Amino acid sequence: MSYDHEPISPMFRIDVSAESDSNQPASGERMAIELLRQLVAGQQQQNRLLEELAQQQVAVNKQRANELQQWKNANPELARSCRQAAETLSRVQTQFLDSLTEEIEDSEEHLLEGEYMLNEFVDRFGPRLAHLNGVLQVLAQLGSSEPNSQQT
């Protein structure tokens, strides 16, 4: 029987000769170990930076919440008015969205066919919707809950 030995490029080389010093890794293994060490060090640094970033974000959010609560405590009547206004604007927004969706259903073919009609639609409803959402968001945040001094 004859065996054809085609050279195959091994992924890893294992030296099993008696002359090899098994305590010392080959140069390729040393390089792989060093690269793995560098990867681990890089990941550890990245984890530290992410932890710092998360801590900073938490601190900013706490500060913002404290400032908002201080404002609510200093302006309890205005905070209640903001909450009532947000509730009213929420109903207005619901009606506006209802009319917007009706407009879309009524002019579906025109919106699909031409860019001009789509641009007209966006120009007509887009700014109003964006501004309404912005105002509603501010009012809802300012009136989100009673100030601590007024809660029962």
Would you state the pLDDT for residue 17? 61
Q: For residue 57, give the amino acid letter.
A: Q
pLDDT tens profile 117-132 = 889 989 999 999 999 9
CA 39 to the chain's CA centroid: 26
Q: What is the DSSP letter of 17?
A: -
Q: Which pLDDT score, from 0 to 100, does residue 28 have?
A: 85
Q: Which residues of 100-115 are buried (b: 16+ CB within 10 A; e: fewer)?
A: beeeeeeeeeebeeee
Q: What is the pLDDT of residue 64?
A: 93
Instruction: Say what the pTM is.
Output: 0.58
Query: Tens-digit pLDDT profile for the chain (152 aa)?
Result: 555 555 555 566 666 665 555 566 678 888 999 999 999 999 999 999 999 999 999 999 999 999 999 999 999 999 999 999 999 999 999 999 999 999 999 999 888 888 888 899 899 999 999 999 999 999 999 998 754 444 43
Asked if residue 147 lies in contact with residue 70, where contact means CB atoms within 8 angstroms, the answer is no
Q: What is the DSSP letter of 143?
A: T
